[in-house]
Amino acid sequence: MKRFLSLLLVLGTVLASPALAQTRAPAAAPPQANPTPAPASPLDGEWKGTSDGGSCNAPLEYMLTIEAGFVDGTAYDATARGPVPNTTRAPPPAPTPSLWQIHGVARSTGPFSLIAVASVKGTSHREGKLAVRGEGGGLVVTETSGCRRTARLAKG
């Protein structure tokens, strides 16, 4: 036990000696106080509008946010209702998606595409593509499949 204590004492003395002390590295440069913002796009802002019913006769309310060219938003069917009693004992109709999540990258120089993903229950996965083009001071969003709805969005 005495040997162990004396070994610890010698080891502690050697490590504490200034000859073996480590030198401190110079401090790194401080982080930049004002990072450069992402380049703004002329389409940046909040866009809102309503589509026609398309072949599904179900108009969608669009709300898109474009920031630095990145698009994020939703479209929802304001006419969608919850489950109703089944008095005929027939199989219920298949549910239609009433909420769509929309994302993509906007281009200010011409038309661009967005992806819309439906929020549905179960294993059903619905995805669609939207074609967007500028017209006047607004955006025209057209479904390229499905109900083929067309919406006119205004900055707001």
- Residue 145 DSSP label: S
Question: What are the residues whose beta carbons fall under 8 Å from the beta carbon of 138, sequence distance 6 or more?
Answer: 47, 49, 152, 153, 154, 155
Flag whether 86 is in a domain: no
Residue 112: is its pLDDT beyond 90? yes
Kindly report, residue by residue over 135-153, the tens digit of the pLDDT: 988 999 999 988 899 999 9
pLDDT at residue 114, as a whole number: 95
pLDDT at residue 61, as a whole number: 93
Flag whether 68 is in a domain: yes
Residues 15, 145: Cα–Cα separation, whole Å: 73
Q: How many structural domains does the chain have?
A: 1
Flag whether 73 is in a domain: yes
pLDDT at residue 81, as a whole number: 67
8 A C-beta contact, residue 31 and residue 1: no
Task: Round the average pLDDT of the chain to a whole number and report it.
Answer: 80
Beta bridge partners of 66: 45, 71
Residues 135, 22: Cα–Cα separation, whole Å: 67
Flag whether 52 is in a domain: yes
State the residue range of the domain holding 136. Answer: 45-78+96-155
**If we measure between CA atoms, which residue out of 139, 122, 120 comes closest to residue 131?**
139
